[in-house]
Amino acid sequence: MRLVRMVPVLIMVGGVAAGARHGRALYDEVVDKFRILVTGMELSRIATEVRHHHMTFGTLPPVAVPEDFAAFLRETLEPYFLERDVAQDFWLEPYRIENDDGDLIVLSTGPDRERTFCAHGRKDVEAFPVADGELPPDDVCATVRLE
């Protein structure tokens, strides 16, 4: 097993240990951080596969219909370490793909399961302002740059 596949497992073990000592809230927070980390890794793989398909065939994979995009993901990806549906994130929501001024964005809606703002995985966006008492955005995104 490659080291990169062990990182999420080690984080999860640490989360379990912390959860046992500090309560359910901390445990849930650590588990969500783990899920966000692994989701970001999966989105990077999805972006790579979309880019590879575009370079190889000169077309995008089927992205217009969500079910077709899910079928493409199931055909091209394997799960990291658990048998699970690679077309869904860890909150059992389907991965999405959107057009963003010529670039494609693959994304997960994150723990809140609502489409908000990409807080993780986009280096080219500014920090999103959050009002007092409002939860920060938790979408996880990866950009597909088509050359």
Which residue, chain included where needed, has tokens 């899920």? 35
Distances in Å between the Cα of 110 and the Cα atoms of 27, 61, 84, 97, 127 are 17, 23, 17, 14, 17
- pLDDT band at residue 124 under the 50/70/90 scheme: very low
pLDDT of residue 138: 81
Distance CA 69, CA 1 (A): 29
Whether pTM exceeds 0.85: no
pLDDT of residue 123: 47
Distance CA 84, CA 71 (A): 14
Distance CA 145, CA 108 (A): 18
| 3-state SS assignment for residue 74 | helix
